[in-house]
Each structure stands twice: as structure tokens, then as C-alpha cells.
Structure 1
Amino acid sequence: MAAGTWDPTALPIEPGLYINFQEAAATAIRGGARGTVAIPLLKYGANATAKQFYTVSKEKEAQDLFGADNIASIRLALMGGARDILVYTMPTDPQPEDYADMRDAFDSRQFNVFVFDQEADATEQDLTKAWVERNRTEGKHFMFVAGGTADEDADPALGNARSTRLKHDYIVNLIVGGTLSGKTYTSAEYAPYLAGLIAGTAINRSITYAQVALEDVNKRLTTTQVREALEAGSLVLIHDGEKVKVVTGLVTSGKKIRVIRARQAIATDITMTAADAYIGKIDNNPDGQAALISAIKAYLERLEANNVLMDPAVMLDPENESVGDSVFLLISFAHVDSIERIFLTINV
């Protein structure tokens, strides 16, 4: 089924569902699966073949397929909370064209968060950003978690510059790594844990102040550096004296991960449900339109009951006439965010 965005001056001719995101609107119907992290694996044992997909949900499965020494990223993603890992095996000594093939291969698979196996250079990060944007335009919604090298982690300004370069609603940029069981991870090496944390967190929950599996960070930021990082849209880990935790769940555009994941879920759910139950199956008359509006509103009301959004409204778009084979709906709701800042005024 075709999907993507629509332009009122040049409507697509293919049957399908087309969604425009505005700051106040999005759409959906039935809840889909969450919790899948996509990883292009660089090294693997003889039990796996290059340029193939494998799905694993347990560390033991991954060990048997790829070898215990090759699954650090998979292990971290599962520790973070991923339900399962969609693995694509990269060729030995991958070249730029192999990364292009990998992205093309993932286009036909469903997942929620993409992350690299190890450090990726700026060129591959930029190409991945373009890939994320192309998929969003075509109607496929997922997040990309990026990270940096040890040198970049040592200077938060470099991490923040990466956030600026990768600015996008669907991209998270981790600028701090840390130590666990005697091993120090760069932010790029630890990014799979954050990918698992994001994928495994319910869309009505935030990762702000979530404790992560690290004993310490590899760079303790000052209060000023933390503030500058948040202003740049960076995702920061801090050691609060007892544990390591996420400061605030942000994407590089400065918006909240919770809000963006809700939008992604809504767009994905309605696209998949429309293909099964609505496209080509109901009449474009008042009864058919009412049935579609009722289904979408019922779905949004379920999200409202689960504190994902508030005050949903669904109606025919008065600016675009729903005739022939086209239906234009106007949908609005308010996002529910988590309380993250508490301001007290105490009179004594």
C-alpha cells in the first residue's frame, strides 16, 4: 500500500493513506507492536550469512547465531528493554555501497528504533539522517539513536555540534558514554542501550530520569554544560552521586521523545489498519465517512484513556472536499507530557 505525505496542490494518484504532520495534528486507529531495535551487525560467526535478516529476543539466541564476542550492541539493546532485535548482517569490510544496501534492505522491514553496531562516521550518520527523513516522507516512522567517539565524548561541544548536524524530530544523539563491569563505552558504543530503552518504554511514559546500566559516565558534565547540551538537543547521562540516569528524553530538534514516539505510533497504526480494513473496503459516502471517523476517534480515545493524549477531535476537513475516492479528515489532540520541572513558591 502506498503511503506518505500529501500536497493539496498535487494529490498522489496511488491508492493509499497519506498523512501530513502539523504541530497540532496526526492520525491513527489500532495499536501495533512496539519494542523492536534494528542493528546492522558488523561481525558474526559461521552460523550467520552476510546480508541476511535475523530476529533475536534473548542473548543466548544471539550468542548461538553470531558468537558471544560479536553481540555487544545486541546485548546492550536487550538490557535497555528492547523486546527483540532485528539484525542485518553486514559484509566483511563493508564499503559505502554496503551501507546503502543495508538501508534499502531495512526499508522493507518493520522496527521502531535504528542504531549502529559500533561507531559510525559523520558521512554515514548524515546518510542515515537522510534515510530517516525519506522514510518519514514515504510513511514509515522510526527513530535513529546516534553517538560519538571517545574524543567527541571528552568535549561536549563536539557532541552538541553533532546534535545540530543531525537535528531532526526522529533522531536522538547521545553525547556521554560510561563504564560498566570494567569496560568503558563511548556514546556510540552505548547508543544501543538507549535504543533499547526508547523502544521498550511505553508511549505513555518518558525516559527522563530513567536509570541506565552504567556505574559511571565517561564525562561528568557541569551544570552549565548540561544546560548547553539540552539547549542543543543532546541526550545527556549524568551521575547523580548514586546512579547514572538520563537527564531529559530529547530528540535533536529539542522535542520530547515521548511526544514524538506517540506521533510515530499514531501514524504507523492508522496506516497499517487502513490497509486492512478501510482502503477500498468502505464507501466514500456519509455512512462510510462516519464509520472511518468513528474508528479513528475510538482509537484516539483509547490513547486518551492511557494518558498518551488529551481532547481528541475528528471531523471532515472543511478546507478540502471529500468526494470521489478521497477523504480529508481534520484531527486534533493535545499531547500529554510528563512532569519534568516543578517550580515552588513558598511564602513564609
Structure 2
Amino acid sequence: MGLPQIIIQFKTLAETMVSRSERGIVAVILKDNTSSFDTKTYTKESEIVKSHYTTTNLAFLSQVFQGNPSAVIVERIGTDGSIDTALERLKNKKWNWLTVPSVQSGETGTIADWIREQRSTYHKTFKAVLPDTAADSEGVVNFATDGIKVGTKTYTAAEYCPRIAGILAGLPLNRSATYYALPEVEAITESEDPDADIDAGKLILINDGTKIKIARAVNSLMTLTDRVGEDFKKIKIVESADMIRDDIRTTFEDEFIGKIENSYDNKVIFLAAVNKYLKDLADAGVLYDKFENKAEIDIDATANWLKQTRDISGWDEEKIKTANTGTNVFVKANIQIQDAMEDLKFTIYMS
């Protein structure tokens, strides 16, 4: 294995990122006693056998497919079944967005906790759309609009979550869900203070007088840190970060782990490939092209690991950077993800 092969692989991932992001996978947990199967995967709505589901659940699946995801994974549990059973089946599958249209208020917290655990402990990039759930997580969208009138049906927030999940799975990275219009919606229970709701991490629908649309596309994150800043409140930013993380991790696992020795030269090869990938993402508009967007060996993390077994008090950065780190590769990156155009301040002066 040499550098060119990895560069080509990363280049393909960069060039296809926008199109890949447009075709996300939605996982749906349905409470349904009509059939006995556990799991079904569909790539288009016409594949669904109608006798397998209740009329209500068929409508939920149709909502998801309106957003044009690449696939829909259905995890079926009985009407009295446990959400935990479905989550256990989902944990080792590949998907992007989860929706549970018949979720009960006592179950939303369980799902939010599970999403947080999968993201923080197992580094999965799962996300969920949940009704009225202040999860304080970049991985959970807190959908908080009720009274959604579509034809003769009026949906609760929970019942409309499949539509939102389908939209988020089907949007490319070069656009935000902010102001995404919902032509089928005739009326909603309007927020009394949209700005306050958005600031509280709620995804809501608004009526601009001519159409119903998604307000600012935010997730439920509220608690910010040095590593998780204001940008991570935005669904588009988190989607981009998740895809970048998945691409780099998957390529490392497929092309490096167990296949080459952990020499300094091979670390440099990996970093060169990642940095070319980041440059290609900037060229594609995924990363901000006026920022350096660079990955490098993490000197601090390497030093902390070395300190566990030896005295490095007299070592300079170069010696730490080139040190033997066993099976560990300590790398960090500083990037800026390109946001969508959402806010305008336009002052007109009359002379």
C-alpha cells in the first residue's frame, strides 16, 4: 500500500460527499402486530407489502419516503413491545436518522440516552428526531410543533417526526433544512415565541403567511464546551462533521488497521491522505475554503500516553511527534465546516 492508492480513495469520498449526504438512511421503529418479522429494509416505497402493516404505520412509512432517503430500515416490535429490543437490533446497523412515530412520553428519554451513548461511547453517528424532547444533544432533534393539518388528518409532533426524519436524510450537505417548505401542510399550532423556541433547541414549523416551513434547522444541543461550540447546534454542521468522521474512520479501518506497521512514516502517509481529503472537501464547498483545514499528530495526546511509562520531561516536540506509540495513532484536526446562507442584514439608505 502506498500514498497514491489512499489519496484516490479519499478523493472519491470527497467528490461524492454531497451526493452521498443526499441519500441518508432512516431507521423506523414501528409498533405493529400485523406481522411477525423483526426487520425489513426498503429502498423505495413500492417494495412495501401493505398487508405487513396497519394503515397508520403504512402512512408513517410513506411520510419517510417523501424525503427521498436511500433506504428505510423498519424495526418492528409488537404494540406492547420494548423500545430497547429494537434499539439493540439497530446498534450494529448502518443508518443516519431514527424516528419512532408511536413513541410514548416515557420512551423518548430512553431513546435520547441511547443516542447520546452511541455517539459518545461507541462513536456512532446516529441521530434521532423525537417529539418534545429536550435532550441537550447534537444527535437529537427536538421537534416541537403540534396540530399539523394535512388534508383530513391532524398530526401530533410525534406523528409528524417521520416526515422530518425523511427530509433530513434526503437533504444534501450544500443546503440546510432552514425554511424547507412543506406544501402538504395547511395549518399548524403556531409557536407563541418562535425565537425563544429556537433558542431553546426546538425544531419548529412556522407560517410565513403563504406557506408552512421549517424554521431554523437546529438540534436540541444547549450545553456548549471548548470542543462543542455554537455551530454544533445546527443540523447541517453536525451532518457534515458526522460524514467526515465516518469517512476517515472507515478508511483507516479498511486500509491501515492490521495492514501496516505503526511507523512515523506511515503516520505521515495517513495524514497526507487526510489533508488531501480535507482540501478536496473545501474545494467541494463542504469545508470553508479560506481556512487551513489541517490534520496533524496530536502532540499533547502523544505526550500524555508516553508519560505513562517513561520520563519525557526533557523531550522536545519533534522527539514526541516521532516517538514509538505502540498500536496508537494520536491525530487531531482543525477544520471549519461551510454553513448555509440563512441570515441577512440589508440596510438601505435613502438619499
TM-score, with structure 1 as normaliser: 0.80
| Corresponding letter in the other structure for 1:288 | N
1:184 counterpart residue number = 154
Q: Given the alignment of the two structures, is residue 195 of structure 1 paired with residue 156 of structure 2, yes or no?
A: no
The CA deviation string for residues 271-326 of structure 1, in whole angstroms up to 9 with x for no partner, is: 22221111122222232112101221122222212222123112112222452221
* TM superposition shift of 1:221: 2.6
Worse overlay, 37-46 or 101-110: 37-46
Which has more radius of gyration? Answer: 2
1:6 counterpart residue number = none
Structure 1 residue runs of 5 or longer lacking an equivalent are 1-26, 148-158
1:78–1:213 distance in 2 versus 1, CA, 3 Å:
farther
1:235 counterpart residue number = 203
Q: Given the alignment of the two structures, is residue 81 of structure 1 paired with residue 68 of structure 2, yes or no?
A: yes
* TM superposition shift of 1:68: 6.3
CA RMSD across the alignment? 2.2
Q: Distance in 2 between matches of 1:176 and 1:87?
A: 25
1:53 counterpart residue number = 39
Q: Given the alignment of the two structures, is residue 41 of structure 1 paired with residue 43 of structure 2, yes or no?
A: no
2:130 counterpart residue number = 146
Q: Distance in 2 between matches of 1:259 and 1:44?
A: 38
Return the structure number with greater relative CO, CA threshold 8 A, min gap 6: 1
Q: Distance in 2 between matches of 1:179 and 1:28?
A: 45
Moved over 6 A (4+): none
Q: Distance in 1 between matches of 2:12 and 2:86?
A: 31
The CA deviation string for residues 254-275 of structure 1, in whole angstroms up to 9 with x for no partner, is: 5100001111111222222221
Q: Report the secondary structure of 1:132's partner residue.
A: helix
Q: Given the alignment of the two structures, is residue 210 of structure 1 paired with residue 199 of structure 2, yes or no?
A: no
Q: Distance in 2 between matches of 1:268 and 1:146?
A: 23
The CA deviation string for residues 203-229 of structure 1, in whole angstroms up to 9 with x for no partner, is: 23211011124332330234xx10110
1:90 counterpart residue number = 77
Asked if structure 1 preserves the Cα contact closer than 8 Å seen for 2:27 and 2:96, the reply is yes
1:28–1:234 distance in 2 versus 1, CA, 3 Å:
farther
2:3 counterpart residue number = none
Aligned counterpart for 2:299 among listed residues 308, 313, 318: 318
The CA deviation string for residues 169-218 of structure 1, in whole angstroms up to 9 with x for no partner, is: 11101111411122111111001111011111112321101112433233
Alignment of 1:307-346 (within 5 A): 307-310=285-288, 311=291, 312-319=293-300, 320=302, 321=320, 323=324, 324-346=326-348
Structure 2 residue runs of 5 or longer lacking an equivalent are 1-9, 223-232, 303-319
TM-score, with structure 2 as normaliser: 0.79
2:250 counterpart residue number = 272
1:40–1:302 distance in 2 versus 1, CA, 3 Å:
same
Q: Distance in 2 between matches of 1:219 and 1:99?
A: 29
1:284 counterpart residue number = 262
Alignment of 1:7-22 (within 5 A): none
Aligned counterpart for 1:305 among listed residues 283, 301, 307: 283
Q: Distance in 2 between matches of 1:81 and 1:235?
A: 20
1:76–1:333 distance in 2 versus 1, CA, 3 Å:
same
Identical amino acids, percent of aligned pairs: 27
Q: Given the alignment of the two structures, is residue 126 of structure 1 paired with residue 95 of structure 2, yes or no?
A: no
Figure out how many residues of one structure are paired with residues of the other and give that number: 298
2:312 counterpart residue number = none
Asked if structure 1 preserves the Cα contact closer than 8 Å seen for 2:151 and 2:186, the reply is no
Aligned counterpart for 2:273 among listed residues 266, 271, 295: 295
* TM superposition shift of 1:45: 3.5
Q: Distance in 2 between matches of 1:185 and 1:104?
A: 28
1:29–1:328 distance in 2 versus 1, CA, 3 Å:
farther
Q: Report the secondary structure of 2:158's partner residue.
A: helix
1:22 counterpart residue number = none
| Corresponding letter in the other structure for 2:172 | A
